[in-house]
Amino acid sequence: MACSSCSVVMDIGSNGAVSVQTIPEPILKHENLGQYIETVYVQPGVILYVLRIPAEKAVDISFDVRGGLLTFECWLKGKLEYRFKTESGGMGFDHAQAGYVMAGTAAVETGFLHKPAGMAVEMVKLSFEPSVFEMILERVYGLKIQDAPEVFSVITDSRNRFVKLPQTASVEAAAKSIAECRHMKPLRNPVIANLANGLIYTILSDILLRRSAGSFGIQPGDLEKFYSIKSMIDENLCEPLSHCQIAKRAGINEFKLKNGFKEVFGTTVNGYMTQQRMNNARKMLESGGTSVSEAAWSIGYTNVSHFISVFRKYFGVTPGKFLMDIKLKLGSHAVGTSV
């Protein structure tokens, strides 16, 4: 993505480790954004995006990420649903929401975000070329990735999508200073670029300080364990495991399971189970060939009325109405649903 925006650039190539000319630009394509996104070139290999979507707008945003981008998304307002292509060719689901920093690396990823009407969205996103991120970590903090706290190796591993980190007051304030910047051009881009550098250091320092203070509560080796727990839950969605069963299989106590899972993924075990089961049900209904009852039974709900209540609470519409709308879109004559 070519950016000619004026910015303040750190001399990251002065030690001869990486020449500015050899740093590839992050490549990130967003369709259908128009006036909702602002892009600022921060320094070679680092781009900042500010996403603002008003409450009254419902928007579907396609994205195409190439080149192993490392990103930190600071969510200030609202909530978005991610749909992305998995390695197996299917579709995966995730959510981003206010109060969290979503950090991760995607080697190649395509998909889209859905923002429903009725809720404003605001997010500040930093996208790094990984070698630049590692250079900042080493030059500013004297840490190589392999010697840094484990959360950094997880974030920079493209096999993982996101790590959800609770957003502290310092990070939120730094991100808000960017989102609420009122400078106009020609000062706007240089000011935001400087603020973006401040956000970078705030995020990294915050992670390092909290790790050293033990406030994450996640010990070395635990992140891999919690990703295994997440996979265990995914494999048993039709007959969900109890907290006791999950903890026993994972070799941890229930207290650590509940608190650690929420810290790593930004949601409770039950919340994640419900999210995945509802997403699977919606995917089945979107085919137009599955009834509400069949969708409920397929994801392990024996009480269809309870399924309808949870689906409506989660998506803001009953599964029957959702299915009817899908059939109308597909041009089906059978607009009725059976329960």
Q: What is the pLDDT of residue 202?
A: 92
User: Does the fold of domain 274-329 match that of domain 20-213?
Assistant: no
Q: What is the pLDDT of residue 48?
A: 93
Q: What is the pLDDT of residue 149?
A: 74
Q: What is the pLDDT of residue 150?
A: 72
Q: What is the pLDDT of residue 153?
A: 75
The 10s digit of each residue's pLDDT in 7-20 is: 222 333 333 333 33
In degrees, rounded to 5, the angle at the alpha carbon of residue 30 between the alpha carbons of residues 26 and 266 is: 85
In CATH, which superfamily holds the domain spanning 274-329? Homeodomain-like (1.10.10.60)
Give the residue ranges of the chain where pLDDT is below 50: 1-31, 213-215, 220, 332-339
Q: What is the pLDDT of residue 180?
A: 94
Nearest residue to 27 via CA among 61, 69, 62: 69
Euclidean distance between CA atoms 216 and 158, whole angstroms: 22
Q: What is the pLDDT of residue 23?
A: 42
Q: Where are the domains of the chain?
A: 20-213, 222-266, 274-329
Q: Are 319 and 285 in contact (CB under 8 A)?
A: yes
Euclidean distance between CA atoms 325 and 331, whole angstroms: 10
Q: What is the DSSP letter of 285?
A: H
Q: What is the pLDDT of residue 107?
A: 58
The overall longest dimension of the chain from CA atoms, in Å, is 69
Q: What is the pLDDT of residue 122?
A: 94
Q: Are 277 and 233 in contact (CB under 8 A)?
A: no
Look up the pTM and report it.
0.58
User: Which three-class secondary structure state does DSSP give residue 88?
Assistant: coil
Distance (Å) of CA 173 to CA 54, 85, 169, 195: 21, 33, 6, 11
Could you please state the CATH topology (level 3) that the domain comprising 20-213 is classified under.
Jelly Rolls (2.60.120)
Is the alpha carbon torsion for 323, 325, 328, 333 positive or negative? Answer: positive
Euclidean distance between CA atoms 306 and 304, whole angstroms: 5
The 10s digit of each residue's pLDDT in 253-285 is: 888 888 788 777 768 899 889 988 998 898 888
Distance (Å) of CA 51 to CA 22, 111, 176, 319: 29, 17, 12, 31
Backbone angles phi, psi at 263, to 5 degrees: -65, -40
Q: What is the pLDDT of residue 217?
A: 52
